[in-house]
């Protein structure tokens, strides 16, 4: 099993270096997409096209992504983040809303919010999980609400100004609240659709620089392919 996983990862790295991604289709065939312009790839127009794809749920929510959601749930436990019914919970860059769903299954909370830049993503999420609240959101703009738990997974690598986005996210966190944030390990990830690439070391520096005076820990999950940070905002006074 370990050999199969290693071969799979090696093949994916070779394909990524050629600036391609592989998307599995319903008929078990593969569709190859060339990504030559990361800025265009991450535009609102392209994101909306992605979420309008009729085969989105089959192609995107695969076994590997579900395993990622499960690892994020495990990470919240490791970081002593306790979800409860009275907490304000938000997933920033929620996409289809599946991460909130898997966390709900794990912790049993009933209310949560998902925010995403793409209106088409919000449409999909609302249809799939009508018991959550979903809203369009610009990660660079002020947001009135504050939260006890913020999730932001696999988002910053797509942004031109991740430091500004991070500062805005942190401003949305209540004192005493917790933030879980992940990005791909830049030593492994060479996908042409990503703008930023952090090694575990440079990711730690990024967090230290941008989460000053907060309690945090950094590390990796998913066989070192994903960097994470768990940040606990210090209570003032």
pLDDT by residue (tens digit) across 9-44? 554 554 454 444 444 333 333 334 557 899 999 999
pLDDT by residue (tens digit) across 96-134? 999 999 999 999 999 999 999 999 999 999 999 999 999
Average pLDDT over residues 192-216: 96
pLDDT at 9 (0 to 100): 54
Q: Where along the chain do its domains lie?
A: 63-232
State the pairing for strand pair 133-136/113-116.
Answer: parallel
Q: Which residues pair with 185 in a beta bridge?
A: 198
Query: What homologous superfamily does CATH list for 63-232?
Result: Vaccinia Virus protein VP39 (3.40.50.150)
Average pLDDT over residues 204-210: 98
Mean pLDDT of the chain: 88
Average pLDDT over residues 144-170: 98
pLDDT at 93 (0 to 100): 98
* Helices assigned H by DSSP within 18-118: 38-41, 44-52, 56-60, 63-78, 98-107
pLDDT at 36 (0 to 100): 81
């Amino acid at each position: 099993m370990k050999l199969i996983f290693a071969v799979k990862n090696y093949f994916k790295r070779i394909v990524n270096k050629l600036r391609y991604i592989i998307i599995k289709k319903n008929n078990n065939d593969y569709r190859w997409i060339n990504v030559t312009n990361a800025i265009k790839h991450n535009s609102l127009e392209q994101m909306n096209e992605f979420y309008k794809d009729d085969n989105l749920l089959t192609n995107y929510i695969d076994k590997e992504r579900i395993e990622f959601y499960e690892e994020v749930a495990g990470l919240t436990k490791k970081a002593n983040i306790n979800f409860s019914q009275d907490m304000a919970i938000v997933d920033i860059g929620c996409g289809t809303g599946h991460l909130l769903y898997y966390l709900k299954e794990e912790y049993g909370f009933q209310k949560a919010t998902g925010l995403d830049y793409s209106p088409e993503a919000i449409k999909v999420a609302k249809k799939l999980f009508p018991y959550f609240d979903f809203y369009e959101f610009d990660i660079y703009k002020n947001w009135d609400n504050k939260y006890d738990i913020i999730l932001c997974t696999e988002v910053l690598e797509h942004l031109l100004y991740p430091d500004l986005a991070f500062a805005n996210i942190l401003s949305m966190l209540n004192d005493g609240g917790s933030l879980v944030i992940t990005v791909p390990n830049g030593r492994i990830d060479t996908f042409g659709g990503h703008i930023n690439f952090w090694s575990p070391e440079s990711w730690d520096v990024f967090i230290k620089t941008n989460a000053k005076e907060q309690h945090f820990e950094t590390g990796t999950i998913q066989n070192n392919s994903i960097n994470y940070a768990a940040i606990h905002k210090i209570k003032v006074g």
